[in-house]
Structure 1
Amino acid sequence: MNVVAIFDIGKTNKKVFLFDENYKIVWEKSVNLEETADEDGFPCEDIELLKNWIFEGLAEIKTLNNYVLKAINFSTYGASFVYIDENGKILTPLYNYLKDYPEDLIDAFYKKYKGKEKFAAKTASPVLGSLNSGMQIYRLKEEKPLLFENIKYCLHLPQYLSYLLTNEAYSDITSIGCHTNLWNFKKMKYHKWVKNEDIISKIPPLHYGKDIIKKDNEVAIGAGLHDSSSAIIPYTINFTEPFVLLSTGTWSISLNPFNNKQLTFEELQNDCLCYMQYTEKPVKAARLFSGNEHEVQTKRLAEYFKVPVDSYKDIYFDKKIISNLRALNFQILYPKKYDFDILKECPFQKRDLSTFNSYEVAYHQLMLDLVEQQVFSTNLVIHNSPVKKIFVDGGFSKNSIFMNLLAEAFPDIEVYAASMAQASALGAALAIHHNWNPKPIQNDLIDLKFYKH
């Protein structure tokens, strides 16, 4: 059986999958690797451990007699650089994008390049410190100039993993184009600061996501993709009518591949950004920290009502509870204008739990509040575009309260819960489809469940 191997590297879970020619998963393995720390003691990915795990995984796949390995690709979390010298030796730890960034360095940088507002709008990158991976390179150059001199290439993590197997260094537009501060979305080329600071010489040439690097013994190897951009590929291949993908996990990210209007500074302040598709088209996106909020608040509810923390899994949408809560709220506590930022703070944080007579009622209220935030966030990317459908995947797609309330909130748009196994891994396999798979792509890759409003 011909297969493609995809290494799907998350912050927590590292997975490897084999997909057959119909894109069904036929073999998989996953692991959680121990973190290490950088020179400041800040936790970070242990790149050596990851490297060894990938080589072990490949060695194991080659011993499987039922499969013929035709291609390999990578999808990994973004905003992380590996710096190598001319012999391919790694020069620094894989710095964590959550690491604090020196304020004075940020201020000096933006001052030099026309201020935060203009710069952020051009690069479609909110000001996020280390989460703008270009700023990691800038910091290295300013703080460790000698080390910077020794760098032959800065490689985003997916491209480094590809380099391990091909010995060829490339950049990829999905990694470069995701809130890195490196790309000028207006001119569709690197922002001029990258040249001014002589960083351009350390960035290898761009490689197209659909192309492979080399066919050693008939194995095609992709250059790797940023996981958020990879996850949208199965949808753009299956659906041509304008849609928004609401990808839910720790973050809920609304992705609109049909909105190519330039980001405004106000949108950037509201946590909007652009991702780049592997076809070089921007995707407007809005982020909300709602999976995290759900976790925090369900713990709070479990403690208050003295129930197990995952009790919400047994609670289903109850129309009556919702209409009672709405009637109540409109009378007393529902001023539509909030005295806080609805996108940064969930209204439920301020609610007094003693006003709810059961866990079930309180949980319905939490979902009402989370969906209200979600509607604000998703509307930022729907704005002025002809969206006909919303597909929800990830955790909240399995939550009947969330799905019913969302369908109600968007009466003119069809709302679907979408499920498919491992969207970002599947996307990375589909990206290089024509390099390994002679069959046409099936149109049943995604299971849909429609929610009436």
Structure 2
Amino acid sequence: MPSSKDQHNPKPTSTFREREGERPGNINVVAIFDIGKTNKKFFLLNEQYKIVLERSAQFPETVDEDGFACDDVELLSSWVKETIREIISLPGYNVKGINFSAYGASFVLVGEDGKPVAPLYNYLKPYDPVLQENFYKTYGGEMKIAVATASPVLGNLNSGMQLYRLKNENPLLFEKVQYALHLPQYISYLITGKTYAEITSIGCHTGLWNFAARMYHDWVYAEEIDQKFPPVLRSNATIEITLDGHTIKSGIGLHDSSSALIPYLACFSEPFVLLSTGTWCISLNPFNNDPLTEEELKQDCLCYLEYHGRPVKASRLFAGNEHEQQVKRLAAHFNVPVEYFQDVAFSNVLFDQVKERNRNETVSTGLHASAFVSRGLEQFDRYEDAYHQLIADIIAQQKISTSLILSDRKVSRIFVDGGFAKNPVYMNMLANAFPSMEIFAASVSQATAIGAALAIHADWNTQGIPGDMVELKYYSITR
């Protein structure tokens, strides 16, 4: 494993920044580490869930033994420890709690000395097809495992498969592993010295968890991989720790997607779907507990476990990526800047033209590119015409994708967050695609961090949960 010392300029550059208008005054705060693939963030939140201090850092990557790029676990560990030491010594802040969120599908493999014995393997690394075929042949086939674990077949994105690979390809290294900790729980371990497993990390397309039996899948025991896992602790549990003479309640960490859902669950009791938009547009329904079917899995559905342990049925659409590629194509054709779409207003006239054009077309499922990819741009006189067609084609697929996880239960609202929530063309067309529902553009500043803080609210906060954490903008049907 290459050392971080071998990297050019390995020291991350990051500084604390107080939010304008917020000054320390011996206020009670919670400290949150939010570890993303690109940005590593740290926040202090006051009891009203306002960010009073933040820090962000990026690290140079290292490589694993095969030369594949991955996060440098040594740099990450040092940054976490240094950051919390600095924070504890800052005047004016009374740190009452600490919690962690991080990306999923990633294990830190810890040896008997408590230190990592292997790289933080990248979940994007290609999986050996022969080894994968052998695994599914041994344990009943891809669909049988996928249905039981609510996990589409995703190679290293099924984090359990990373441990299966290590055991079969490098058994000597596997023997050195005392604990396999999902990344959120490893970050917690750095501060608390305690090792636990946690259900939102176990239950996010890992291939490890049998959703019906509510325990690890049989293959985990057959391969004796369960022996590498510490005990499972509830997601909102805290451990009392002492740092530099300060007594603090520490959480055990959460998977970031599940953490980002918590502010919505805290603020809204009426059933809703959260449509989280970015590169992937993921529809999350916390009120649909029906087991995944084979047909749903074939259409890229999966399940998460939210922090109370309840299944959250989800469907995925690669719409953000398609949008990114197609606006480049539009920019080149119409000779405008790539970001020109940001200035396009929704037009009822153009929308009516799109509906007429699409009247007799068959919509492909979200596993394929939308119809726009094969449309010739010469048929459109203006950028605005073509852009309305692009969004209409994406929304046609989004309707299929989101409908997969609605079920027969009454869901009255769809909350859209992320990039498309700021897009009036997208939001107006989505409202027309779901005329029986209320459609809202929603925003929560740093939802993942706030979710991690909310998970342990009772252990650090003396106030109630504020009702204004989620900002909403309503979009009605266009007549």
Task: Report if TM-score (shorter chain) is over 0.5.
Answer: yes
**Whole-angstrom distance in 2 between the partners of 1:295 and 1:233:** 28
Alignment correspondent of 1:258: 287
Residue 306 (structure 2) aligned to one of 277, 284, 298: 277
CA contact (8 A) 1:343 1:373 kept: no
> How far did residue 337 of structure 1 move?
5.3
- Deviation string, structure 1 residues 153-202 (Cα, Å, up to 9, x no partner): 00000000000011110000000011111100011111111111111110
Secondary structure at 1:450 match in 2: strand
- Code of the residue aligned with 2:138 in structure 1: it is K
**Whole-angstrom distance in 2 between the partners of 1:337 and 1:198:** 45
- Code of the residue aligned with 1:209 in structure 2: it is S
Alignment correspondent of 1:199: 225
CA contact (8 A) 1:415 1:451 kept: yes
Secondary structure at 1:232 match in 2: helix
Alignment correspondent of 1:120: 146
1:208 aligns with 2:234: yes
**Whole-angstrom distance in 1 between the partners of 2:79 and 2:310:** 33
- Deviation string, structure 1 residues 238-271 (Cα, Å, up to 9, x no partner): 1111110001111111000111111011111111
**Whole-angstrom distance in 1 between the partners of 2:114 and 2:368:** 42
> How far did residue 342 of structure 1 move?
4.1
- Code of the residue aligned with 1:429 in structure 2: it is A
**Whole-angstrom distance in 1 between the partners of 2:386 and 2:72:** 42
**Whole-angstrom distance in 1 between the partners of 2:113 and 2:130:** 34
- Code of the residue aligned with 1:171 in structure 2: it is A
1:445 aligns with 2:469: yes
Alignment correspondent of 1:267: 296
Residue 188 (structure 1) aligned to one of 200, 214, 220: 214
> How far did residue 327 of structure 1 move?
2.0
- Code of the residue aligned with 1:314 in structure 2: it is D
Question: 1:297-376, aligned counterparts within 5 Å?
Answer: 297-330=326-359, 334-336=360-362, 338=364, 341-376=365-400
- Deviation string, structure 1 residues 287-314 (Cα, Å, up to 9, x no partner): 1111111111111111111111111111
**What is the root-mean-square deviation in Å for CA atoms of aligned residues?**
1.1
- Code of the residue aligned with 1:108 in structure 2: it is N
Change (3 A) 1:16 1:437: same
Secondary structure at 2:338 match in 1: coil
Residue 219 (structure 1) aligned to one of 241, 244, 248: 248
> How far did residue 63 of structure 1 move?
3.6
**Whole-angstrom distance in 1 between the partners of 2:118 and 2:371:** 42
**Whole-angstrom distance in 2 between the partners of 1:370 and 1:255:** 18
Alignment correspondent of 1:399: 423
Alignment correspondent of 2:447: 423
> How far did residue 325 of structure 1 move?
2.3
CA contact (8 A) 1:23 1:426 kept: yes
Alignment correspondent of 2:4: none
> How far did residue 34 of structure 1 move?
1.5
Secondary structure at 2:404 match in 1: helix
> How far did residue 393 of structure 1 move?
0.7
**Whole-angstrom distance in 2 between the partners of 1:324 and 1:59:** 60
Alignment correspondent of 1:59: 85
1:30 aligns with 2:56: yes
User: Tell me, which stretches of 5 or more residues in structure 1 are unaligned?
Assistant: none
> How far did residue 375 of structure 1 move?
0.7
> How far did residue 55 of structure 1 move?
2.1
> Which aligned runs of 4 or more in structure 1 are off by greater than 3 angstroms?
none
Residue 18 (structure 1) aligned to one of 30, 44, 49: 44
- Code of the residue aligned with 1:250 in structure 2: it is T
- Deviation string, structure 1 residues 8-40 (Cα, Å, up to 9, x no partner): 111111111111001011111112222111111
- Code of the residue aligned with 2:40 in structure 1: it is K
Secondary structure at 2:288 match in 1: coil
CA contact (8 A) 1:244 1:254 kept: yes
CA contact (8 A) 2:198 2:252 kept: yes
Residue 34 (structure 2) aligned to one of 8, 31, 45: 8
TM-score by length of 2: 0.92
CA contact (8 A) 2:363 2:396 kept: no
CA contact (8 A) 1:321 1:364 kept: yes
- Code of the residue aligned with 1:268 in structure 2: it is L
Question: 1:375-386, aligned counterparts within 5 Å?
Answer: 375-386=399-410
CA contact (8 A) 2:366 2:401 kept: no
Secondary structure at 1:29 match in 2: strand
Secondary structure at 1:2 match in 2: strand
1:75 aligns with 2:101: yes
Secondary structure at 2:136 match in 1: helix
> How far did residue 329 of structure 1 move?
3.5
CA contact (8 A) 2:289 2:311 kept: yes
- Deviation string, structure 1 residues 331-386 (Cα, Å, up to 9, x no partner): xxx42254xx4432121111111111111111111111111111111001012221
Alignment correspondent of 1:243: 272
**Whole-angstrom distance in 2 between the partners of 1:280 and 1:355:** 51
CA contact (8 A) 2:366 2:398 kept: no
Alignment correspondent of 2:167: 141
- Code of the residue aligned with 1:397 in structure 2: it is A
Alignment correspondent of 2:323: 294
% same residue: 56
- Code of the residue aligned with 1:45 in structure 2: it is D
> How far did residue 143 of structure 1 move?
0.4
1:232 aligns with 2:256: no
